[in-house]
Amino acid sequence: MSKPAKQATRERPILMHARSINGILAGRKTQTRRIIKGPPADWAPIVGIYAPTKVNRAGFECPGPETYGASDESYCIRCAYGQPGDRLWVRETWCPATVVASTEPGREGQKNIYYRASVDAVDEKIIKGHWRPSIYMPRAYCRLILEVTSVRAQRVQEISEEGVLAEGVESWDEWDAHGQDCQDYYRGATEEDIFTSPQEAFKQLWNNTNGKDAWKRNDWVWVVKFKRVEE
């Protein structure tokens, strides 16, 4: 049940915010967690290929088409992010260069597209008010292609320290004044939010992205592992 279906490689769009974009560009982020909607509290899913039960025109139950996702005897759901081997093209906040050229004469031709995750303070000031939401980014303007390498399902609070780091959370260590004890630190949602627990840093980031009670709900999530594809 764990082997991927044999089919042509598919591409799907995925939305990402600036922090995730910069994590991928820096080589820190190799996983993303996305909420699975609807499973019951006692769900015990297996991720892989399943054939959901369908009712045919005669009123009889029969196996439906094979689908890649998570399922048990009570609930099944297709993975919206594909399966190993599929690709995700990242949509992010953007602005076409023509807008910059019209507001700042002389800058036309310097860039074809501006990405909010990567602009400097000068460009941010110029483009302010002209940014376009990531949902409207055309495939042609995408700069990040990701290949899915594995998919699994887990409760969000089950994330390990390794998982936190794979989510792109910044970490570093500092020695005390005597050079004897070393403390690990993890950055949260802002430069000022610093934690000594990786899970606490990710908890703040998760709530910041998904709502203040998101961590407390302990939702089931897709854990999508990926690698960047150079084009």
pLDDT band at 107 (very low <50, low <70, confident <90, very high): very low
Is the domain spanning 11-93+133-229 CATH 2.30.130.30? The answer is yes
- Mean pLDDT of the residues in the chain: 87
pLDDT of 211 > 50? The answer is yes
pLDDT of 7 > 80? The answer is no
Of the given ranges (105-119, 129-143, 166-180), which has the lowest mean pLDDT?
105-119
Q: Over the chain, what HEC string results?
A: CCCCCCCCCCEEEEECCHHHHHHHHCCCECEEEEECCCCCCCCCCEEEEECCEEECCCCCEEECCCEEEEECCCCEEECCCCCCCCEEEEECCEEEHHHHHHHCCCCCCCCCEEECCCCCHHHHHHHCCCCECHHHCCHHHCCCEEEEEEEEEEEHHHCCHHHHHHECCCEEEEECCCCCCEEEEEECCCCCCEECCHHHHHHHHHHHHHCCCHHHHCCEEEEEEEEEECC
pLDDT of 108 > 70? The answer is no
Residue 140: the pLDDT is 92
Per-residue burial over 27-38, b if 16 or more Cβ lie within 10 Å, else e, is: ebbbbbbbebee
- 18-70 pLDDT, tens digit each: 999 999 999 999 999 999 999 988 999 999 998 877 787 887 888 778 889 99
* Arithmetic mean of pLDDT, 214-219: 96
pLDDT of 130 > 50? The answer is yes
Residue 227: the pLDDT is 98
Residue 179: the pLDDT is 66
Residue 230: the pLDDT is 87
Return the domain boundaries, the chain. Answer: 11-93+133-229, 94-132
* Arithmetic mean of pLDDT, 216-231: 95
Quote the longest CA-to-CA distance of the chain: 79
Residue 191: the pLDDT is 87
pLDDT of 101 > 70? The answer is no
* Arithmetic mean of pLDDT, 94-115: 65
pLDDT band at 90 (very low <50, low <70, confident <90, very high): very high
pLDDT of 180 > 80? The answer is no
Residue 194: the pLDDT is 92
